Structure 1
């Protein structure tokens, strides 16, 4: 069912899932992912300048593989989205840029909710939604940031920082993959492009690059959380490395001492020393048994 004109009814349809994409029904609850948290934060940002608002709206449109529809009343931009917060963002941007009349539709399936938005486009903005990527990418730095944020809302995701570092955009076309890669490179991060399942995926695997990119797109809370987890991971890794190093040194010291003690003793004494060695933990034995057989 399409909702048109009654804003309260439309928002009720978009609110059938709670904040963060979680359903208010117990059967739909799930643990929100880090990527969803990042998108929730970005969806709450509304650029102040009209040029940035249009750039972000275009980013969501092209990133989510939007379509241009025609009717007797004119042209409209059609969005198919999976998150209610992004659908709300599209409506807010459309009203700020146009103002554009919006139609909403929320569809519940067995596995997810889908949100369909149709924005009536003014005649002077129809051309912006039909441009190739080279013309869509703006020159102004603020517009480029807004476009990148919209693209992430439309086709991006990021792994939780306690797993492997990975941020990606599933580009709608190869030309858009090149454009997204250029936007990422201009923000100071290093991007790569790979073909996966017939789609071009632009990715960033460097932790510093992901932090820089999230900061560029305005996700300051996500940057803080990412950095906190990174610090814990680095400290934990350093502790483990030092512990392994010290354990290896202890094993070498014990082996050397036992070898010196056994030298010059009778075979019976050597056998006794070897028996005591067998009672030691495996990590502390090291190569000592071999050394006893070699130098004993």
Structure 2
């Protein structure tokens, strides 16, 4: 089951609390999943939902809060294998529309969320978001592109939902994506706060565990890649140094000071060792700076003599090695 389905399954059973919060949740579901239309000179309200449990809950709440009977049924599936359900109010549609804020007292369609709800208490604001998510929300898997989104019927509703989130202390942004108005929460802490606010506590715990596992795995991968890169650089540096030392011995022949020859031979004998390891293998032991200094002086001496003789220096050894590779 997807995270989105898990959230909807969990919060459909959450009690909004007061009758005002219950009414706000019903109004929100109808706003985000419903349509108000006039058929045969009477207003009809219909909400299409992807959960039978939510459809039953909405039908019961409409009856309990407003005393209006709603018809429930199965709608034609938008996609093969996808179930869809409707809640339809055929009688007293205009009355329910006014009571839920879909229509004002003058019979005009309201495009956003009624101010008395959008400016309400925290439980009412949470109920608005809960209803919106149940109607048209999605939660993606944790990661760099993680988001909690709600598709909105128009820009006014999107802006009102952003405002409701802000009054809950949760930052959300309105965006139009491919012609659809959406409200998006991207910040990890904000997503956590919103899941907690709408009552999806079990999903929140699972989502947070998944996020932490992914972050741990990503950190481990970065460290492995970092270590691999360091090892490759160290190995390449050792190969280059060995090639230059071999060329230095060719240039200098027998004219190599003994302490520089010893350092060069140590480098060639333990080709994959680090400078620190070379120093430990020396007899007597040396610091890595001492080993590096002697190898540098060996190469410098060889390059100076090569310049005097007009022959290629120690860098020639590096070029030849790369060609062989």
Aligned to 1:28: none
Aligned to 2:87: 117
Decide whether the 8 Å contact of 2:122 with 2:168 is kept in 1: no
Aligned to 2:50: 82
Sort the Cα spacing of 1:212 and 1:102 in 2 relative to 1 into closer, same or farther, 3 A.
same
Aligned to 2:196: 215
Decide which moves more: 195-204 or 176-185. Answer: 195-204
Deviation at 1:85, TM superposition (A): 2.2
Decide which moves more: 220-229 or 150-159. Answer: 150-159
1:293 and 2:319 correspond? yes
Decide whether the 8 Å contact of 2:119 with 2:164 is kept in 1: no
Deviation at 1:86, TM superposition (A): 1.8
1:45 to 14, 20, 23: 14
Kindly report which structure 2 residues correspond to 1:102-181, keeping only aligned pairs within 5 A, or say none.
Answer: 102-109=70-77, 111=80, 112-119=82-89, 123=95, 126-127=98-99, 128-131=101-104, 132=110, 133-135=113-115, 136-161=117-142, 164-181=145-162
1:101 to 63, 69, 72: 69
SS at match of 1:265: helix
Give distance in 2, aligned partners of 1:211 and 1:142.
Answer: 17
Sort the Cα spacing of 1:163 and 1:290 in 2 relative to 1 into closer, same or farther, 3 A.
farther
Sort the Cα spacing of 1:189 and 1:47 in 2 relative to 1 into closer, same or farther, 3 A.
closer
Deviation at 1:47, TM superposition (A): 2.3
Aligned to 2:178: 197
Q: Deviations over 1:10-41 (max 9, x none)?
A: xxxxxxxxxxxxxxxxxxxxxx3211111111
Decide whether the 8 Å contact of 2:246 with 2:317 is kept in 1: no
Decide whether the 8 Å contact of 2:71 with 2:88 is kept in 1: yes
Q: Deviations over 1:171-226 (max 9, x none)?
A: 11111011011122233333222223322111122222211111111111111111
SS at match of 2:34: coil
Sort the Cα spacing of 1:291 and 1:45 in 2 relative to 1 into closer, same or farther, 3 A.
farther
Deviation at 1:140, TM superposition (A): 1.1
Q: Which has the higher contact order (CA 8 A, sep 6+)?
A: 1
Deviation at 1:268, TM superposition (A): 11
1:248 to 214, 229, 238: 229
2:26 to 29, 38, 57: 57
What is the Cα-based RMSD across aligned positions, in Å? Answer: 3.5
Q: How many residues align?
A: 250
Query: For structure 1, which runs of at least 5 residues remain unmatched after alignment?
Result: 1-31, 278-288
Structure 1-normalised TM-score? 0.72
Aligned to 1:9: none
Decide whether the 8 Å contact of 2:34 with 2:45 is kept in 1: no
1:262 and 2:243 correspond? yes
Give distance in 1, aligned partners of 2:114 and 2:170.
Answer: 20
Structure 2-normalised TM-score? 0.66
Deviation at 1:156, TM superposition (A): 1.4
